[in-house]
Amino acid sequence: MKSAPRAQDVADLAMVSQSAVSRTFTPGASVSEETRRKVLAAAQKLGYRPNALARSLITRRSHIVALVMSYLENQFYPLVIEKLSQKLQSEGYHVLMFIAEIDEAADGVLAEILQYQADGVVMASARLSRTLAGSCADLGIPVVQFNRISDIGGLARHATSSVTSDNYAGGRMAAELLVARGYRRIGFLAGLEDSSTSRERERGFNDALAQAGMTVARREVGQYNFDLARAATRRLFAPGSDLDALFAANDHMAIAALDVMRHELALDVPNDVGLIGFDDVPQAAWGGYRLTTVRQEVEPMVDATVALLSEQMHGVLRARDVVVPCLLVERDTIRHA
């Protein structure tokens, strides 16, 4: 196994200068058809591929986007990885994965992102450090927060962009639907207390309930975690509870709740109790659940993320917050009209 051919090798074989080789592989450079042909032929013969690292060193663009996530337990995120990778690939970028379990790791992650000279950063997952995004932004690296809101009033000098769905409106939809279907004692299962998604969904939910002259009957916290959501559900429906509906801050917890409601508590969903989730993960549509939920449209969200990243990587420094509409998906965990 000999080492990979360099531009100079191709140049030698094609009897042109090394510069000519470089131009041939630089879209929009001025090369004659003649030269380009010779270079391409030689490159083909040698199996030459430009070294992206060397190129990045000089162009100062790595074409790498760092995707920072934490646990992938919530099935919404694999979808995001897939769509985002694809979309970015089609634009000539690639996704470098960073799994940051805890806030502690944030500094280390930042260091690595910087070392790899990522052109941009996408921060997904609610569990991540608030400061990491700001640090990147301060260093002039385009950051978009996916499915979470920029830190309002934080210390960051440069704002970060964000893409979220309309969580507030989604929360309202859930409340309105539940009320319309005659549910009256409605509980809320919160995600992470300090996540913008959970807070906004709850705010919309509460506001819509208030508008109907109601308030949340009971509230527990599941921290977007399956087991904690199960435990929270048990508390929610503990003996003496008269809840007749539940809105969970995401599908992952809604599914955990449904398992407990049906299989432990022997509740009849949707007749005894109604349930609405948030996200519309693929599993929500499965026959075992058929969960009524508020859908977050992954594809528009990913498109917006890539668009935001692009404009910032190409010099538009102004940060923007994009809000994508949600969509109610009615299945079988609430009574039909």
Q: Which residues pair with residue 188 across a beta bridge?
A: 219, 247
Should residue 75 be labelled a site residue for a second copy when binding is judged by CB under 8 A? yes
Binder of a second copy out of 22, 131, 241, 283 (CB under 8 A): 283
State the number of binding residues for a second copy (CB under 8 A).
Answer: 54
Which positions ≥6 away from 317 have C-beta within 8 Å? 158
Give the pairing type, strands 327-329 and 292-295. antiparallel
Should residue 101 be labelled a site residue for a second copy when binding is judged by CB under 8 A? yes
Should residue 314 be labelled a site residue for a second copy when binding is judged by CB under 8 A? no
Please report, as residue ranges, which positions from 25 to 64 form the binding site for DNA (by CB under 7 A). Answer: 25-26, 30-32, 34-35, 48-51, 54-55, 57-59
Give the pairing type, strands 143-146 and 292-295. unpaired
Should residue 140 be labelled a site residue for DNA when binding is judged by CB under 7 A? no
Binder of a second copy out of 97, 180, 210, 238 (CB under 8 A): 97
Should residue 139 be labelled a site residue for DNA when binding is judged by CB under 7 A? no
Q: With beta carbons less than 8 A apart as the criterion, state whether 148 and 123 touch.
A: yes
Joined together, the tokens standing for residue 16 give 């042109």
**How many Å separate Cα 318 from the centre of its chain?**
21
Classify burial at 231, counting beta carbons within 10 Å of its beta carbon; exposed 0-12, middle 13-18, buried 19 or more: middle
Binder of a second copy out of 36, 94, 181, 185 (CB under 8 A): 94
Residue 78 near which of DNA, a second copy, none (CB within 5-8 Å, type-dependent): a second copy
CA 302/CA 85 separation, integer angstroms: 10
How does DSSP classify residue 166?
-
* CB nearer to a second copy: pick between 179 and 248: 248
**How many Å separate Cα 154 from the centre of its chain?**
21
Residue 17 near which of DNA, a second copy, none (CB within 5-8 Å, type-dependent): DNA
Least distance between DNA and beta carbon 195 (Å): 36
Of 232, 237, 221, which Cα lies nearest the Cα of 272?
Answer: 237
CA 159/CA 172 separation, integer angstroms: 28
Interface residues with DNA (CB under 7 A)?
3-4, 6-8, 16-23, 25-26, 30-32, 34-35, 48-51, 54-55, 57-59
Q: Which spans of this chain sit near a second copy (rule: CB under 8 A)? A: 1, 4, 47, 49-54, 56-57, 62, 64, 67, 71-73, 75, 77-79, 81-82, 85-86, 89, 94-99, 101, 111-112, 114-117, 139-140, 158, 255, 258-260, 262-263, 282-283, 286-289
